[in-house]
Amino acid sequence: MLEWRISIGFVQSLKRPTVILQGNLAANGTAFPSGMRALADYVHGKGLKLGLYGDAGLRTCSRLQPGSLGYEDQDARTLAAWGIDYLKYDNCNNQNISPLTRYNRMSEALMNSGRDVFFSLCEWGVDDPATWAGSFANSWRTTEDIKNTWESMTDNADKNDKWAPYAGPGGWNDPDMLEVGNGGMTIEEYRSHFSIWALVKAPLILGCDISSMSAETKEIITNQNVIAVNQDKLGVQGRKVQQDGDLEVWAGRLSRGRVALVLWNRGPAEASITASWSNIGLNQSAVVDAHDLWTVSTLSNHMSLMVKTTKHSLICIQNCSSTPFSCV
C-alpha cells in the first residue's frame, strides 16, 4: 500500500542540550514552537506520516546538528515518543567505526523503541550495503547523492541495477530521492527518472518543493499506472535486460503474470527500440497486449515490441491479458 510521508531533512530542526549530561534530542523552538509531537499529531491527522533525518556519527553532514552515535537507544526512544514514522540515517562524522556496527545499533534501538519506524540506511553504497543491510534496514542507499542532472540520474540508475538480487518486500535498494520538478532536466528526462525509479522499486521520495510544483511535475508524480508498478505486491526489482549502445530495455516481473517494461533512449537523437520477448521472460510465440502507461494506449504485439523514442525519453509499458488497464 502506498503511504505518503513528510520527511524533515537538512534544517536546523534538532539540538542536544549541553546543560544536561546525556541530554535528549530537542526540537528547534523557533522552527517548531509547538514541538515535534504536536507536529507529528498534525501530520498524522492529515493521513500522512512524518520522517526525520539523523546521522550514524557524532554530527550530521551539515555539522550543525547532533548525530546519534553513542545515543542510539536514547534517540530511538525520543523518536518513538514524538511519533516519528521514518528515519533517514546518514553516514557523516562516523569516527571510522564499521557501518555494520553503527547501523545495527540504531536498528536494534528502533526495534526496541515500541514504535514501527521505517529505517532508511544512508551509507552511500560505499561498503556495498545491499549485501548486508537487509537484516536490519528497510532500505539502503546504493549510490552517492543524486544531483539534479541527467548524467547523475542515469549514473545512479546504472549503479543501483547491479544490486537487484538483494531487494524485495521489506528491504529495498535506494538510488536516492527523486529530482523530478527541481528544474535541472527536461520533462521527458523527469518522466524517464520517475519511470525507472518506479520499475526498480526504489522508494519514491520527492525532493522538490511541492507547494510550487508545475502542472507537468504533478502529472508525472501522480501517474497512478506508474506508481502501481512501483507498489506491485510481488516486489521484484526491474533490471536492464537489453542494451544496444544508448538504447536500452529494462524489465521486471509483476504480480498476476504481468511484466513491466521501460524502453529507454539515452542517446541524443530519435531512435527505434525493439524489445524481444525472449529477453524479458515471455514465450517467444506470445501475443501480448502492451499498455503504454504514459499515453494510456494499447498495442498488440507478437514476438517483440518496437517503438520510436525521442532523445532522453522512454516508453513505459506493462503487458496484461485482461481488458486494457483493468489490471493496473
pLDDT one-digit tens code per residue, 146-167 = 999 999 999 999 999 999 999 9
In a 3-state reduction of DSSP, which class is residue 168? strand
pLDDT value at 302 more than 80: no
Between 49 and 19, the more confident residue is 49
Residue 20 lies in a domain: yes
Local confidence band at 13 (pLDDT 50, 70, 90 cut-offs): low
In this structure, the answer to whether residues 13 and 129 fall within a common structural domain is yes
In this structure, the answer to whether residues 129 and 251 fall within a common structural domain is no
Give the catalytic positions in this structure: 90, 145
Bridging pattern class, strands 172-174 and 139-141: parallel
Residue 217 lies in a domain: no
Residue 61 lies in a domain: yes
In 3D space, the residue among 106, 37, 44 whose CA is nearest the CA of residue 75 turns out to be: 106
Residue 227 lies in a domain: no
Local confidence band at 289 (pLDDT 50, 70, 90 cut-offs): confident
Query: Which residues constitute the domain of residue 310?
Result: 239-319
In this structure, the answer to whether residues 13 and 126 fall within a common structural domain is yes
Residue 88 lies in a domain: yes
36 and 27 Cβ atoms separated by less than 8 Å: yes
Last residue of a domain, one of 119, 141, 163: 141
267 and 245 Cβ atoms separated by less than 8 Å: yes
How much is the pLDDT for 282? 80
Kindly tell me the burial class for residue 131, based on how many C-beta atoms sit within 10 Å of its own C-beta (0-12, 13-18, 19 or more): exposed
Residue 11 lies in a domain: yes
How much is the pLDDT for 37? 96
Residue 170 lies in a domain: no
For residue 210, the surrounding DSSP H or E stretch is none
As given in the structure block, the three cell numbers for residue 324 are 486494457
% of the chain beyond a pLDDT of 90: 73
Last residue of a domain, one of 107, 141, 175: 141
Domain count, the chain: 2
In a 3-state reduction of DSSP, which class is residue 322? coil
Q: How many CA atoms lie within 13 A of 239 on its CB side?
A: 13
In 3D space, the residue among 110, 113, 132 whose CA is nearest the CA of residue 123 turns out to be: 132
Query: Measured between alpha carbons, how far is 218 from 67 in angstroms, rounded to an integer?
Result: 34
CATH number of the domain within which 42 lies: 3.20.20.70
Residue 295 lies in a domain: yes
As given in the structure block, the three cell numbers for residue 134 are 537487509
Query: Measured between alpha carbons, how far is 171 from 112 in angstroms, rounded to an integer?
Result: 19
In this structure, the answer to whether residues 136 and 23 fall within a common structural domain is yes
CATH number of the domain within which 314 lies: 2.60.40.1180
pLDDT digits (tens, 9 = 90+) for 47-72: 999 999 999 999 999 998 899 999 99
In this structure, the answer to whether residues 137 and 247 fall within a common structural domain is no
Local confidence band at 84 (pLDDT 50, 70, 90 cut-offs): very high
* Backbone φ, ψ for residue 295 (5° rounding): -95, -5
Last residue of a domain, one of 97, 122, 141: 141
